[in-house]
Amino acid sequence: MESFAKPTQKDIAKKLGVSVSLVSRVLSGQGEKVGISQARIKAVMDAARECDYVPLSAALALKGKKTRTLGVVVYDFHDPFFGKLIAELQTYAHTRDYSLVLVGFVNRVPEAADLAPLFKHFVDGIIILGSFGDLNWLDKFRNIPIMRVGRGEDSRISFSVGVDESDAARQIVEHLKGIGKRHFRYVARDMSVHELRWKAAEAAAKEAGCSMTRFERKSFENDFLAGVAAGAEDFSADEVDAFICSTDVAAMGVIKSLVASGKKIPEDVAVVGFDDIASAEYFIPSITSVRQPVELFAKRVIDFVSDKTKPGEFCEKATLVVRESTAG
């Protein structure tokens, strides 16, 4: 198997018949300042692109320059919503000439090995994907901007953006009420972000004059199993005619149990999910879900690290995508 040799400044200099120091000055942005002609600068830059030259992060860092590398810390690799978000971050980061280093934690608790790549690549900033959690590990990264896609305040985070849960809950309740559903049950695991969505849904239901009960929070391995357990409960006493789920995966579990018990969806019971992951559209029945603006989330955090927006904590509106699980 042929090995790949990383091109160097020496290779570019040899190709053009110039000195390595001239190439170094051009690639560091100092060419014009030291009197190198525009024609020569263009020749060096063209040659660098042709041979796919990429400066080493360590070399840039030692010179006090930006590495244009961002660390992306994923709270849960098993959550399909984060896969969608990572794809958008990768796409938008490339438009701004940033590279991404992807790391993740087991059970949201970092170990030294998890953080090592962030040091190795001298990242210019860190983007956290996920809400709340213990952020004491950020003390090791005090001199770079920290961004978050998710909820949860922390003084170490310079910029965060997440979905407006209250507005999303109002959209869900208004839609369910519009199709004649008035008795809701909320389904989630015992997680802080799901608690936030519960409170928003509870308030929206109360404002709309609808009843709202909650599936008992327990320790489940994943959202699907929580949904299966919720859908298998006897909820006739509460006259439940719609399930509001914290994620699409939980909604899938609810639907599995409802179908197994002979319930018709949405005639007997409607089901709403959250996140609008790709499989929500193709599930049977397809799932009505809250679509988070992941493209906007990605743009906003990359714009921030590019010094194009101000620090702060921001919420963006979501969109309710209506499908078979509530529309028949």
Examine domains 69-163+294-317 and 165-292+320-327 and report if their fold is the same. yes
Which of the listed CATH numbers 3.10.129.10, 3.40.50.300, 3.40.50.2300, 3.40.50.620 matches domain 165-292+320-327? 3.40.50.2300
- CATH fold of 69-163+294-317 reads Rossmann fold (3.40.50)
Residue 189 one-letter amino acid: R
Q: When comparing pLDDT for 116 and 1, which is higher?
A: 116
Is the alpha carbon torsion for 240, 282, 222, 256 positive or negative?
Answer: positive
Go through 281-290 and write b for each residue having 16 or more CB atoms within 10 A of its CB, e for each that does not: eebebbbbbb
Residue whose entry in the numeric block shows the structure tokens 């978000």: 85
Q: What is the mean pLDDT of residues 258-276?
A: 96
Binned at pLDDT 50, 70 and 90, residue 161 comes out as very high
User: Cβ contacts of residue 44 below 8 Å, gap of 6+?
Assistant: 12, 16, 18, 22, 23, 26, 27, 31
Mean pLDDT of the chain: 87
Binned at pLDDT 50, 70 and 90, residue 66 comes out as low
Q: Which of 216, 219, 277 is nearest to 248 (CA)?
A: 277
- Specify the DSSP element, H or E, that contains 42: helix 38-50
**pLDDT value at position 51?**
73
**pLDDT value at position 112?**
76
Show me where the domains of the chain are located.
9-54, 69-163+294-317, 165-292+320-327
- Please check the confidence at residue 97 and state whether its pLDDT lies above 80: yes
Distance between CA atoms of residues 35 and 305, nearest Å: 32
Q: What is the mean pLDDT of residues 63-86?
A: 81
User: Cβ contacts of residue 298 below 8 Å, gap of 6+?
Assistant: 85, 88, 89, 91, 92, 93, 149
Interior angle at CA 158, CA 157 and CA 163, nearest 5: 75
- Please check the confidence at residue 91 and state whether its pLDDT lies above 80: yes
Specify whether the CB–CB gap between 313 and 153 falls below 8 A.
yes
**pLDDT value at position 3?**
44
